[in-house]
Amino acid sequence: MIFVNLPVRDLARSTAFYEAVGGTKNPQFSDETASCMVFSEAIHVMLLTHDKYRMFTQRPIADARATSAALIALTAQDRADVDAIVDRAAAAGGVADPNPKQDHGFMYGRSFEDPDGNVWELIWMAPPPSA
């Protein structure tokens, strides 16, 4: 399993944003300081208020709108799925395509930025030809 922990300025807004792009809030691991967003059995995103996030690190919280600490990439089922997720992100208040769209025929990728500036990449890769 992977848990991506993100500091957020507005927990309610970020929770709504991640629900719009396909996450489901797990109330068992959510409270007024955190929302556990489930994308699959293996992928969870922990949205943490700044005060909660500071409990796990002594380092300053970066402003993801001004700096880049990580690029998080997920695969999608097909090209249409990539476009649909990016479109939902933009409609929910995110930024579509903060990085250039990539289309190499066998691989297609786009990105979106969440309300706190974290960039997510969505990639579809064509299955290898069967022998």
pLDDT at 131: 66
- What CATH code is carried by the domain that includes residue 84? 3.10.180.10
pLDDT at 54: 97
Q: With respect to residue 64, please indicate whether it lies within any of the assigned structural domains.
A: no
Alpha-carbon distances, residue 106 vs 97, 98, 103 (angstroms)? 19, 22, 8
Tens-digit pLDDT string for the chain (131 aa): 899 999 999 999 999 999 999 999 999 999 999 999 999 999 999 999 999 999 999 999 999 999 988 889 999 999 999 999 999 999 999 999 999 999 999 999 999 999 999 999 999 999 887 76
Beta bridge partners of 47: 6, 35
pLDDT at 118: 96
pLDDT at 25: 98
Q: Are residues 80 and 117 in the same domain?
A: yes
Q: Are residues 73 and 120 in the same domain?
A: yes
Alpha-carbon distances, residue 63 vs 34, 60, 68, 92, 99 (angstroms)? 19, 9, 8, 20, 17
Spatial contact of 63 and 51, defined as CB atoms under 8 Å apart: no
pLDDT at 71: 87
pLDDT at 129: 79
Q: With respect to residue 82, please indicate whether it lies within any of the assigned structural domains.
A: yes
pLDDT at 70: 86
Q: Are residues 7 and 48 in the same domain?
A: yes
Q: Are residues 8 and 43 in the same domain?
A: yes
* DSSP assignment of 66-106: T--S--EEEE-SSHHHHHHHHHHHHHTT-EE-SS--EE-SS
Q: Are residues 81 and 46 in the same domain?
A: no
Total number of domains in the chain: 2
Q: With respect to residue 63, please indicate whether it lies within any of the assigned structural domains.
A: no
